[in-house]
Amino acid sequence: MSETAKPAPGHPRVGITEIEGFVTRALASAGIPPEDAIQVAALMAEADARGGDAHGVFRLPQYVKQIQSGGINARPNIRILSDRAGSALVDGDNALGHLVMKRAAELAIEKARQCGIGWVGTRRSNHAGPAQLYARMPAAQDMIGLYFCVGNANLLPPWGGTEVLLSTNPIAIAVPGWQHPSIVLDMATTNTAFGKIRLKAQRNEPMPEGWMIDRQGQPLTDPKRASEGFLVPIGGPKGYGLALMVGLLAGTLNGAAFGRDVVDYTVDSKTASNTGQAIVAVDIATFADLQAFKQKVDEVWEVMKSSPTLPGVDEVRLPGERSARLYQERMTHGVPLGAELRKVLDELADRLGIQRLR
C-alpha cells in the first residue's frame, strides 16, 4: 500500500498531533479536566485520520457550545450501574460521549477476556464520533467488535409514515485481519447521510432517486427542498426495521432516549441528550486459533477481491478498506481541512483565547 500513502491533492493538511493538541486546548479551556480532554482529543483526531470527516474536529465547536451551555457535564462521574460477568450498564453522567464509550468498550473487552463475550450498554451519554472508533477497540485487542447507537437527530419516519421518529442509527462491526487491514463496516441505516445532501445543495446538483422521498412518498431530487422530505432507509422496510431494532438495543434497553425523546444537540445545546450506545466484544479464542482465524479473514478479503467486476468498476472493495488507506496516509501527511472549517476553528480559538491550529 506504500504508493497510496502519498497525500491526495486538495486542502492544506494539518498533522494529527497538531489536531490533538488543538482539541485538548479547546476542551480544557471550556472546563474539561486535562486528562479527559487528552482522551477525547485522541479519539477525535483518530476519527479524522480514519476519514470520518464529519465526526472529528468538525464537531468541536458544537461540543464546546454544549459544554458552555450546560448541555454536557464537564466534570462527570461515569459509573457502572449494573455489572455481571458478561454484561454491564454504564451511566455516562452526561459526559462527552467519547469518555463514556471508551470506558464502556474497555469494560466490554475485559469481560470478553474473562468469559468470552462482553456486552455493555450506556445511558446518559452523548455523541461520540464515528461508530467505527468503538467497534475497532475490541478488534485492536484481537476480538470482534460490534457497536450500535441511537443517532442524535430524528431524520426518518417509520416505513410508510410521515413523522420523523427515527435516527439513522448506525451499526459498526470490526473483524481483525492478519496481513490485510481489519474488515470494518460502519454504516447508517439510510441510503445516504444528510451531509451528502447539503453538499449536493451547495453544488446545485440534483440528488439521485432513492436518497429522499417527499411527504407524498414520491422521490425528492431537489436538495434545496430537503426539509420537505425524509431520508429513505436501506431496503425500505428492512432499513426501517434495522433502525428500529438498533434503537431498542442501544436506547430503550439502556433507559436512553429513543423515538420522541431524542434531542438534536445541533439545535438544542442545553438539554442533556441521554444518548444510548451498546458495545459488544467477542473473544475469538472461544471459536478458533487466533492466527488461523485472522488468516482466514485475509482469505475472505482475497476471495472478494478476486471477483471479476462490472463494467466501469476497477475492483471490488472491502468494508474498511478506504478507511485503512486514509488512516495510513493521514497519520503520515495529516488531515486535509477545508478553508471554511479552518475559519470556524480559528474563530473558536480566538473566542476561547487559545492558540490557533498551526
Distance between CA 336 and CA 232 in Å, rounded? 30
Q: In the complex with a second copy, which residue's Cβ is closer, 21 or 157? A: 157
Q: In the complex with a second copy, which residue's Cβ is closer, 10 or 160? A: 160
Q: Per CB under 8 A, which region of 23-31, 49-57, 258-266, 330-338 contacts a second copy?
A: 258-266
- Sign for the CA dihedral angle at 236, 239, 241, 244 comes to negative
37-43 long-range CB contacts below 8 Å, 24 or more apart? 39/98, 39/99, 39/102, 40/96, 40/98, 40/99, 43/98, 43/102, 43/128, 43/129, 43/133
Of 206-235, which residues contact a second copy (CB under 8 A)?
Answer: 213, 215-217, 234-235
Query: From the CB of 17, what's the least distance to a second copy, in Å?
Result: 32
Cell of 107: 469494560
Chain center to CA of 199:
19
Of 288-347, which residues contact a second copy (CB under 8 A)?
Answer: 288, 293, 296-297, 299-300, 303-304, 306-313, 315-319
Residue count, binding to a second copy (CB under 8 A): 83
Is 31 a binder of a second copy (CB under 8 A)?
Answer: no
Cell of 196: 451528502
Is 42 a binder of a second copy (CB under 8 A)?
Answer: no
Query: From the CB of 202, what's the least distance to a second copy, in Å?
Result: 24
Query: From the CB of 4, what's the least distance to a second copy, in Å?
Result: 18
Q: Per CB under 8 A, which region of 15-23, 33-41, 196-204, 252-260 contacts a second copy?
A: 252-260
For residue 52, give the 3-state DSSP assignment. Answer: coil
* Run of H or E residues at 252: none
Cell of 25: 486546548
Of 133-162, which residues contact a second copy (CB under 8 A)?
Answer: 144, 157-162
Is 282 a binder of a second copy (CB under 8 A)?
Answer: yes
Distance between CA 57 and CA 28 in Å, rounded? 15
Of 159-178, which residues contact a second copy (CB under 8 A)?
Answer: 159-163, 165, 171, 173, 175
